[in-house]
Amino acid sequence: MQDKTIGFIGTGVMGKSMARHLMKAGYPLNVFTRTKEKAADLLEEGAHWKDDVATLARESDIIITIVGYPSDVEEVYLGEGGLLANAQRGSYVIDMTTSSPELAKKIDEKSRENGIHAYDAPVSGGDVGARNAALTIMVGGEKEYFEGIRPALEAMGKNIVLQGGAGAGQHTKMCNQIAIASGMLGVCEAILYAEKAGLDPKTVLKSIEAGAAGSWSLSNLAPRMIDGNFDPGFYVKHFIKDMKIAIESAENMKVAVPGLKLAKELYEQFSKEGGENKGTHALYQYYEMMSSAD
């Protein structure tokens, strides 16, 4: 049994697997989510239900959140009855939601006032990385206290890097999402091209994923496209949210991101066609629709 109790808020596609790995690592786990039924299997496995955010905060040493949108993060951390008003002095809060770098800095400032150590630690790797405890975790926060949370992060991920101070984790995640956004367009176009050329796309993958075109998306998501499996490892609606944050941050720094803006435009169009709750790789279906229209 680990000597620190972890509070976990957010048991969605990725969060549930992450919470489960923490329990397997021996951490006592407190759980809160808006819909208790979503945490039912974790509770059966030994997690302890808490009726609200404030109670979870008071009874946990390390508090991890992975929720939907920056507005959710703000409510959980800064709202009435939120984490920062109720967490113990000397405790840790780790937001693993992909959220705003500016909000991460705001949470850090408020945490310092309350004697709490705050970290922004968004992740990459999707549902597969979460299930396999192989997530990439990008961390922003104080170096001095980082070792206090490293063991918990190592229970969920393999590639854990402290990028800098508050907000640095979120800025790094924006770099990640920018690279994925344009790359996903290329993956969709390559698979559709292969099919239209009369090739077996699975055989094509054997060649191109091992060459200069290789990427995580090509190796892990192109096979799902080919098999017609568009279940979410990461939701389209959440990816659109991420791209909006990245574009806003880029514009504040006067960085041109035309590829990212094009990707966001295509994903928004696909969302309007009913794709918002599908996986990001389902953009392939929108390419199919565009090709059929031509």
CB count in 10 Å sphere of residue 70 = 20
Residue type, 69: Y
Compute the CA torsion angle 268, 273, 279, 285 (nearest 10 deg): -110
CA dist list (Å): 187 to 57, 226, 239, 254? 42, 11, 16, 28
Tokens representing 173? 């995640």
DSSP 83: H
Give the span between the Cα atoms of 134 and 113, in whole angstroms. Answer: 34
Catalytic residue, chosen from 16, 105, 106, 173, is 173
List CB contacts of 63: < 8 A, sequence separation 6 or more.
Answer: 6, 7, 8, 9, 56, 57, 83, 87, 91, 92, 93, 94
Contact 181, 263 (CB under 8 A): yes
For residue 93, give the H/E element and its range: strand 92-95
Cα 131–chain centre separation: 13
**Among this protein's residues, is 173 annotated catalytic?**
yes
Q: Hey, what amino acid is at 288? A: E
Catalytic positions, please? 173
